[in-house]
Amino acid sequence: MTEAAHPDDRSVLLVVDVQNDFCPDGALAVPGGDAVVPVINRLTASFAHIVITQDWHPPRHVSFASSHPRHKLFEVIPVSYGDQVLWPDHCVQGSDGAALRQDLDTRRAELLIRKGFHREIDSYSAFFENDRRTPTGLNGYLRERGLTRIFLAGLALDFCVRYSAEDARRLGFSVCVVEDACRGIGSADSLASIRRALTEPGVVFRRSDDLSRAVG
């Protein structure tokens, strides 16, 4: 097995955007998004370190279709940093939709990273805004704490989890995606394609039952 197969004291569970708006009945619901919560809650017992991210958009954010009256929902438009999907208004700062799921166990989380709070730039990755240059500060935090191995869980696999995994590998971290602790927006075929693409730079995929805390 690769190094990322089992968590140890250098490992961190990175829980991505498990928020009301990404779960059933939310503004941008991921199918089955709420199903990740009990899996993540079980996983927390195996990790000494846990970090959580939270999408945190101001009103009239650049990613909202409502900010572009001449364009349609889910249309892709060019912006200063590249292509931008136009989403429904979601995870607006201070709203119920932006709140973390109430049943998500956050008691042992050491850090909460809020992203997407700049009005003119979107942010999928836990590490960088979508220009892939503006940092969130997570890289420095993990380096200073000596945490080099990242286990990813949360929403959505084909957007924020994917970008976080890509950036983590680009920064030299060991990365494991916990498959049953994630859900995606796309079709089964598109998710399979993303899985294949992520394995090329060395991301590994495991199920939560395959993970166990290193002893000794």
- Give pLDDT tens digits for 69-119: 999 999 999 999 999 999 999 999 999 999 999 999 999 999 999 999 999
pLDDT of residue 213: 44
pLDDT of residue 6: 79
Q: Which domains does the chain have, with CATH numbers?
A: 3-59+89-207 (3.40.50.850)
Task: Give 99-102 contacts, CB < 8 A, sequence gap 24+.
Answer: 99/19, 99/20, 100/18, 100/19, 100/20, 100/52, 100/54, 101/18, 101/19, 101/20, 101/23, 101/34, 101/37
Q: Which of 17, 21, 89, 158 is catalytic?
A: 17
**CA torsion through residues 129, 97, 76, 196, sign:** positive
Q: What is the mean pLDDT of residues 34-43?
A: 97
| DSSP designation for 40 | H
The answer to whether 17 is a known catalytic residue is: yes
Q: What is the mean pLDDT of the chain?
A: 94
* Burial bucket for residue 155 (CB in 10 Å: 0-12, 13-18, 19+): buried
Q: Which of 34, 89, 91, 115 is catalytic?
A: 115
The answer to whether 8 is a known catalytic residue is: no
Closest C-alpha to 148, from 180, 171, 179: 171
pLDDT of residue 3: 53
